[in-house]
A and B are shown apart, each in its own frame.
Chain A
Amino acid sequence: MAKRKRRNIGALIAVKNHWIQKYLPFTLGSLSLVWQALFFYVPLLCVIVLSFTGDTPYAAFQGFFSAVYVRIIVRSLGMAFLTASMCLMIGYPFAYFLVFHTHRLRNLLLFLVMLPFWTNFLLHICAWFFVLDRQGLLSYLLQKLGILSGPLMILNTYWAIIIMMVYFYLPFMILPLYTALDRFDQRLLEASLDLGATWWQTVTRVLLPLTMPGIRVGFLLVCIPAFGEFAIPEFMGGDRTMFVGSVIKHLILGAESEVAGSAFTLISSLVLVIVIGMLYLIIGRLVPSRYEKE
Chain B
Amino acid sequence: MKSIHIKNVSKSLGGEAVLEKLNLVIPAGKFFVLLGPSGCGKTTLLRLIGGFESVDDGEILLGDQDITTMPINERKIDTVFQNYALFPHLSVFDNVAYSQHLKKIPQDVIAEKVMKILATVGLERHASKGIDQLSGGQQQRVALARAIINEPEVLLLDEPLAALDVKLREKMLIELIELQESLKTTFLYVTHDQFEALTVADQMAIMNYDGQIEQIGTPKEIYEFPKSAFVAQFVGTTNMIKGKLTEREGASVIDVASLGSFFVDVPQDKKYLLAQHADVLLSIRPEKIEISKTPVEGFSNMLQGSVKSIVYYGRSTQYNVVVSSSLTLQVFEQNEEHFPQEVIDYDDIVYLYWQKENVVILER
Binding site for B on A (CB under 8 A): 185, 187-188, 190-198, 201, 205-206, 209-210, 288, 290-293
Q: How far is the CB of B144 from chain A (nearest CB, A)?
A: 13
Q: Closest 4 CB pairs between A and B?
A: A288-B89, A191-B85, A195-B99, A291-B130
From B51, B71, B87, B130, residue with most partner A Cβ within 10 Å: B87
Partner of A291, one of B78, B101, B131: B131
Which one of B73, B85, B99, B150 lies within 8 Å of A185 (CB-CB)? B85
Given A290-B130, A291-B89, A196 and B79 contact (CB-CB distance below 8 Å): no
- Provide the residues of chain A in CB contact with B78, threshold 8 Å: 194-195
Docked CA distance A92–B104 (Å)? 30
Residue pairs across A and B with Cβ atoms less than 8 A apart, 28 shown, are A185-B85, A187-B83, A188-B87, A190-B81, A192-B98, A193-B73, A194-B50, A194-B73, A194-B77, A194-B78, A195-B102, A195-B146, A195-B147, A196-B73, A196-B103, A197-B73, A197-B98, A198-B102, A201-B102, A206-B89, A210-B88, A290-B91, A291-B88, A291-B89, A291-B130, A291-B132, A293-B88, A293-B132
Majority SS at the chain A contact face: helix
B-side contacts of A201, CB under 8 Å: 102
Q: Closest CB of chain A to B45's CB: distance in Å? A: 16
- Judge whether B72 is part of the interface by a CB distance below 8 angstroms: yes
Q: Could you tell me the distance in whole angstroms from the C-beta of B153 to the nearest C-beta in chain A?
A: 13
Identify A191's interface contact among B71, B77, B79, B131, CB under 8 A.
B79
Instruction: Assess A194 versus B72: contact at CB under 8 Å? Given A187-B83, A291-B132.
Output: yes
Cα separation A194 to B130 with both chains bound (whole Å) = 21
Is B90 interfacial (CB-CB < 8 Å)? Answer: yes
Give CA–CA (A205, B101) in the complex, Å: 10
* CB-defined contacts of A205 to chain B, threshold 8 Å: 98, 101
Nearest residue (CB) in B for A287 is B89
* B52 on interface, CB distance cutoff 8 Å: yes
Chain B residues with a Cβ under 8 A of chain A: 50-52, 71-74, 77-79, 81, 83, 85-91, 98-99, 101-103, 130-132, 146-147, 150
For A209, list chain B residues within 8 Å (CB).
89
CB <8 Å contact, A206 and B87: yes
* B87 neighbours in A (Cβ, 8 Å): 188, 191-192, 206, 210
**A284–B65 alpha-carbon span in the complex (Å):** 46
Task: For the complex formed, measure the closest distance between the CB of B323 and the CB atoms of chain A, giving whole angstroms.
Answer: 49
Determine how close the nearest CB of chain A comes to the CB of B128; give it in whole angstroms.
Answer: 10
Q: How far is the CA of A196 from the CA of B150 in the complex (A)?
A: 9
Q: Which residue of B lies closest to A187 (CB)?
A: B85
Report how far A210 CA is from B90 CA in the complex, Å: 10
Q: Please determine whether A288 and B85 come into contact, CB atoms closer than 8 angstroms.
A: no
Which B residue's beta carbon lies closest to that of A212?
Answer: B89
- Chain A hits for B50, CB < 8 A: 194
Kindly state the separation between the CA atoms of A191 and B131 in the bound complex, as whole angstroms.
15
A187 to chain B: which residues have CB within 8 Å? Answer: 81, 83, 85
Q: Verify A198–B89 contact, CB threshold 8 A.
A: no
Closest to B98 in A: A195
